[in-house]
Amino acid sequence: MDGRQIIGSSGSATIDPAGGEIPTANETGSATAATTIRVASVPASHVYVRHLSPVNGTVSELDTGKVSVTRLADPVPADGAKVPGGWWPPLMLDPSWIAQHHNDFDVFHIHFGFDAVEPSVMSAVVAELRKHGKPLVYTLHDLRNPHHPDPGAHEEVLDILVPAADELITPTHGAADAISRRWNRAATVIPHPHVIPPARFGPREPATDDFVVGVHAKSVRANMDPLPVILTLLDAASDYPDVTIQINLHDEIFVPGNHWYNPDFGTAALALSRHPYASVRVHEYFDDDQLWDYLQGLSVSVLPYRFGTHSGWLEACHDLGTAVIAPSCGFYHEQRDCFTYELTEDRFDPDSLVAALADAYENRPVPALWPDRRTERISIAEQHAALYTRVLHA
């Protein structure tokens, strides 16, 4: 698989910087014992990170021998604050935490959670890791932060993280090429793991005979421009006998003082409920089961993103057999098979969205199969175990 890198076997043991030996394959190719590598993942509780581990917690079988990767639990903030995907803010992204806990991990692996981290703090995090000889791995999910209207703050942190990382990972070749062009760094391409739990895989059971097109405006974060997309879809719906445009938004956009307060969009969205092809729903954040039920009830999910890079939402749709119409920005089209339309910060082509809807209507996807996703997850776990092994010997 693309991006897989296996350490060559030498038939001898190597000293682990954290102490102890890392056993390698002997001359017959068998391993004598499993090596444990302790990883401080930021954040460990995010579904992406949780699904980097082998199924059922088994070890990874590498050419160099067996490797067991254990991930530290997320430290819980004093106020217990959480966001979807983890505790907030992630306490590991603090040089003082690293100073106190550097003996508890072998590798530091950053994924998400530094939206509000100042460049000076990230530089201090890198310096503290270097001080204690701890390798840094960074999985670059977002070349452009979907929560920031301006790219500058995110890019400042990327300009620290990408050059400093001992190893880089990214989910698509397009993103790897962008990393190479901008920073002259090679990134290992490892695909996004499954998102839904194994028990949710299986045949689709549509709740309605209608072809339901979902536009989930969420809380209208910075990279979203839902109204032009919704209006185009509503116009196109009249060409079909059974199309419903379902518009979902979070109730917090109606709460004064909330960070996501957006009454103008909320009022405009509610007004669309009078449209004959529209169904407008306002609700709190879905929990996981509610989200899977919602996505499985859609025929297609349209992502109204003006900028972005990759998407866990898209990945969940792939798992459930829900088609995705993704914008042309970013690398969504490389992540999984999907339909695309032209939407960027500078341009929206309504005709391309109408054409994508027609393609999605005629070509219904089938759900992913758990045996295939399980095999892929095992491979993803092996690739991470190999990369962690390599970075400890660099």
Angle between helices 226-237 and 263-271 (to 10 degrees): 0
Residue 43 near residue 74 (C-beta atoms within 8 A) = yes
Residue 43 near residue 84 (C-beta atoms within 8 A) = no
Mean pLDDT for 217-227 is 95
Which of 96, 39, 125, 105 is closest to 384 using CA atoms? 39
Q: How far is CA 2 from the centre of its chain?
A: 18
Q: Which helix (H) or strand (E) holds 15?
A: strand 14-15
pLDDT value for 133 = 98
Confidence of residue 394 (pLDDT cuts 50, 70, 90): confident
Collapsed DSSP state (helix, strand, coil) of residue 121: helix
Indicate if the pLDDT at residue 144 is higher than 50: yes
Token pair recorded at residue 63: 């050419």
pLDDT cut 90: percent of the chain above it: 81
Mean pLDDT for 66-84 is 90
Mean pLDDT for 354-373 is 95
Residue 180 near residue 162 (C-beta atoms within 8 A) = no
pLDDT value for 32 = 58
pLDDT value for 82 = 83
Question: In order of start, what are the domains of the chain with their CATH numbers?
Answer: 14-194+374-393 (3.40.50), 198-362 (3.40.50.2000)
- For the chain, count helices (H), then strands (E): 12, 17
**Helix residue ranges per DSSP H, the chain:** 47-50, 95-101, 119-131, 152-164, 173-183, 226-237, 263-271, 288-296, 312-320, 332-335, 350-362, 370-393
Indicate if the pLDDT at residue 303 is higher than 70: yes
Please provide residue 54's backbone torsions phi and psi, each rounded to the nearest 5 degrees.
-60, 155
Token pair recorded at residue 36: 């444990």
pLDDT value for 31 = 44
Which of 317, 371, 319, 325 is closest to 352 using CA atoms? 325
Q: What angle do CA 52, 82, 201 make, to 5 degrees?
A: 40
Residue 24 near residue 13 (C-beta atoms within 8 A) = yes
State the burial class of residue 167 (Cβ atoms within 10 Å of its Cβ: 0-12, 13-18, 19+).
buried
At position 221, the amino acid (one-letter code) is R
Token pair recorded at residue 25: 């394959």
Alpha carbon distance 144, 330 (integer Å): 9
Residue 141 near residue 149 (C-beta atoms within 8 A) = no
Q: Is the peptide bond before 43 cis (omega within 30 degrees of 0)?
A: yes
Mean pLDDT for 253-268 is 95
Alpha carbon distance 285, 27 (integer Å): 55
Radius of gyration of the chain (CA): 22
At position 20, the amino acid (one-letter code) is G
Residue 47 near residue 85 (C-beta atoms within 8 A) = yes
Q: 57 versus 188: which is more confidently predicted?
A: 188
DSSP for residue 343: B
Task: Give the pLDDT confidence of 157-177 residue by residue, as tens digits.
Answer: 999 999 999 999 999 999 999
Alpha carbon distance 322, 364 (integer Å): 8
pLDDT value for 2 = 31
Token pair recorded at residue 77: 């903030």
Q: What angle do CA 10, 11, 13 make, to 5 degrees?
A: 90
Confidence of residue 20 (pLDDT cuts 50, 70, 90): very low
Indicate if the pLDDT at residue 11 is higher than 50: no
